[in-house]
Amino acid sequence: MTTAIIALLLLILISLWIGFYQLVKQQGRILLRLDKLEAAAQAPDAAVHHDHAAHEPRSDEFVGTAFPAFKFPDLAGKAVALEDFRGKQVLLVNWNFDCGFCDLIAPELARLHSTLDKQNVQLLLLSYGDAASNRKQANEHGLRCPILLPKGNERPKPFAHEGTPVAYLLDETGQVARHLASGADEVVELAKQLSVPPADSDIPSKSQRKKLQGERSLNESRIERNGLKAGTPAPLFRLPDLAGKTISLEEYRGRQVLLVFSDPQCGPCDELAPKLARLHQENTGNDLAFLLVGRGDPEENRSKAAKFGIKFPVVLQEKWKLSKEYGIFATPVAFLIDAKGVIAQEVAVGRDAILELAYAGLKATNPMEA
C-alpha cells in the first residue's frame, strides 16, 4: 500500500513539474516577443518610410479564393460594387496618389488603360484621400479608370496590411487569379502583360509578349528605390523656398551641402527637425550648407519650420519629382553633396543616420572644430 502511495505521489510531482516547466517556457517566449516589440517601438527610425512604396513577393493565401465583395463610392459619389465587373478580369490596385511610386506609374497605367479594356480587363483603383484630390490628380495623369474610395477600415482584407501600389488580378468570376503584384515595377509589368492578347496561356510570359510602342523593358524602366550612389553628380534643381524665392543647387557650388528630404506629415522628420536647427545654429561659421526639401502644403511646411526654429532654406518640391531624381521616396533621408556637386556618401535614411552624415559634413569642412 505504501509503495503504491509513493508511486502515485511521484507521478503527481512529475506531472506538476512538467506543467510548471511548460508554463515557464511559454512565459519566456512571450517575454522574448514583448522585448522584440518594445525594441522595435523604441527604434528611432521605425517610421522612416512615410510611403509604402513596395513589398517583397510572398506566398499568397488568397490565390484561388473569391475576393471579398465590396461596394464603395466612386469620385462622383456613386456606389460601385465589385460584382458590377463580373464577366471581366479586374486588375485591382491598392492606390494612393500621395505615394511617390503611385504618382510615378500613373501615366503608364493611363497609357495602358485602353489596351487593357480591349482585352476585357478592367483597371480598378481603391484609393486613399478625398474625391476632389483624387479627381484632380487623376485628370493630371489622364487616368480614366474607375477610382473608388473606401473609408477607414473598410479596405478589403487582402489589402488591409499592404502598402501602395500593390495589385491583385481577379478572374471573370471574382476569384484571385495570381499572387500579389507587389510594388510599382510588378504592378506595371502585370498591366503590360494583360494589355496584349494571350498566346498559349491566360497571361503571356515576357518571352511570348510583344512590346507595345514606346514601351521599355522592366529592367530598363525599373525604379531606383535606394538612393543615388556616392560619386554620382547630384541632380540640379531650381525650387521655390517658403517665401517664394527661387533657390538652385548651383548656388552652393564651392560648398558642401547637406540636402535633407522631409515631409510635414512624417513623425521621424519632426524628431529630426529641431536637432538639425540646433546643429545649424551652433555651426553658422562652418562651410557646410543646410538645405531642406519639403513636399505637400506650403503653409504646413512654413508652420513646421517656424515651430522647430529652422533658419536655413526650405524649398518645396512638386509631389515627389525631385525625390524621384535622387532615387528614393522615403522621408527623412539626406545626401551629402561635395563642393563640386557630387554626392559624397551613400544616402542617409532616418534621424540618426542623417545626424551622423551632418557631423561628417561638418568635420570635412572644418576638421579642427568638429
Residue range 240-256, pLDDT digits in tens? 999 999 999 999 999 99
**pLDDT for residue 161 is more than 70:** yes
**Which cell is 198 given?**
494571350
Query: Per the CATH hierarchy, to which homologous superfamily does domain 71-221 belong?
Result: Glutaredoxin (3.40.30.10)
Which residues, 6+ apart, have CB-to-CB distance to 239 below 8 Å? Answer: 246, 247, 248, 293, 315, 316, 317, 322
Sole residue written with cell 511617390: 100
Average pLDDT over all residues of the chain: 83
Residue limits of CATH 3.40.30.10 in the chain: 71-221, 238-365
Return the minimum-mean-pLDDT range out of 27-41, 189-203, 205-219, 229-243. Answer: 27-41
pLDDT of residue 30: 39
Cβ atoms 246, 239 nearer than 8 A: yes
**pLDDT for residue 31 is more than 50:** no
**Which cell is 304 given?**
513646421
Q: In whole angstroms, what is the distance from residue 143 CA to residue 191 CA? A: 14
333-337 and 71-73: which strand pairing?
Answer: unpaired
Q: In whole angstroms, what is the distance from residue 200 CA to residue 185 CA? A: 24
Residue with more model confidence, 255 or 329: 255
**pLDDT for residue 169 is more than 50:** yes
pTM for this prediction: 0.63
**Which cell is 347 given?**
544616402
Neighbours of 301 (CB within 10 A): 23
Cβ atoms 347, 328 nearer than 8 A: yes
3-state secondary structure of 309: coil
Residue with more model confidence, 277 or 101: 277
Kindly report, residue by residue over 47-77, the tens digit of the pLDDT. Answer: 344 344 444 445 478 999 999 999 999 999 9
Q: In whole angstroms, what is the distance from residue 275 CA to residue 280 CA? A: 9
**pLDDT for residue 198 is more than 80:** no
| CATH architecture group of domain 238-365 | 3-Layer(aba) Sandwich (3.40)
